[in-house]
Amino acid sequence: MTQTLCIGTLLRLPEITPERLQFLRQAGLECCQLARVGEDWLHGSQGADNSAALMRLLADNAIRPVSVFLSFPAQRFTADGGGFGLTPPQPRAGRIVSACRQMLWAGKYHIKFITCHVGKMPASDGNEYEQLIDDLRQLARFANENGQRFLFETGPESAAELQKTFNDIGMDNVGVNFDPANLLIYNQDDPSDFLKLLAERVAVVHCKDGRRPEKAGEMGKETPLGEGDTRFAALMAQLVGGGFRGPLIIERELPLGPEQQRDVAEAIGWLKQLRQELLPQA
């Protein structure tokens, strides 16, 4: 059983090394979200061998994989949200096939939370929207049949847009990977207001901080946890008070190196203290 409010970080498979996992274990990491599950882990006997070695390495360091963040090649992360995820029509079919393969891979290791940057939703009064909803419903059904939840990573979508999308998909296993920093970086809803509408849909939290853009049409900036404008501790009190007990996944989008390691280690300690304050029995 996964620990209540287990504290983890996002790990990209090509960047995982024994030394990095040992550092994270010593820092107190308990779980992880895996990203960039590519062909080296998905395909053939070599993929199976690589995956088995990865899972042994995680187990040796007492780090449990609880989520997979879907990764697709040739994505462009832009302020309007139009170049990534599943919303662009042209690459959608291939990305859905890739998503299903990654879900099956995750299912082998009892990973039930599947997170995706779905992308900016089209206007809801046209055929493009209806087709996307049909496609997302099929993907959610696939996840459901695999014992998994399909989670929208917060980004360029407003809470109202997401709520309508969830209602139109009509599947109970669709939810939110709540990233409060992204709401500011993409200049969307205040994170607290977002939770007032969709807290019950939140299954995983990205522990990340940030600030809004300084100019229209630009993206905001990420900061170390606790140094941005999300008011993260208050958001966690809001979530935990409403019954949230899911994974807390630190995401620090810096190149690997001393600064990234320091920020992640400090975030682990800060989150453990916050968890003790919010849930002394956890």
CATH value at residue 150: 3.20.20.150
Q: Dihedral (C-alpha) 162, 166, 172, 175: value to the nearest 10 degrees?
A: -20
**pLDDT digits over 196-233, tens only?**
999 999 999 999 999 999 998 899 999 999 999 999 99
- pLDDT score for 68: 99
What is the 3-state composition of the chain as percent helix, strand, coil, each rounded to the nearest 5? 45, 15, 35
**pLDDT digits over 55-100, tens only?**
999 999 999 999 999 999 766 655 555 567 898 898 999 999 999 9
User: Is residue 174 one of the residues assigned to a domain?
Assistant: yes
- pLDDT score for 138: 98
Range of the domain at 120: 7-278
The domain tally of the chain equals: 1
Query: Is residue 211 a contact partner of residue 249, using CB atoms and an 8 Å limit?
Result: no
- For the four alpha carbons of 248, 251, 257 and 259, in that order, the dihedral sign comes to negative
User: Is residue 227 one of the residues assigned to a domain?
Assistant: yes
pTM tops 0.85, yes or no: yes
User: Is residue 2 one of the residues assigned to a domain?
Assistant: no
User: Is residue 241 one of the residues assigned to a domain?
Assistant: yes
User: Is residue 1 one of the residues assigned to a domain?
Assistant: no
**pLDDT digits over 1-42, tens only?**
567 999 999 999 999 999 999 999 999 999 999 999 999 999
Helix (H, G, I), strand (E, B) or coil at 106: helix
Query: Is residue 155 a contact partner of residue 186, using CB atoms and an 8 Å limit?
Result: yes
Distances in Å between the alpha carbon of 146 and those of 34, 72, 181? 18, 20, 30
- pLDDT score for 65: 99
User: Is residue 51 one of the residues assigned to a domain?
Assistant: yes
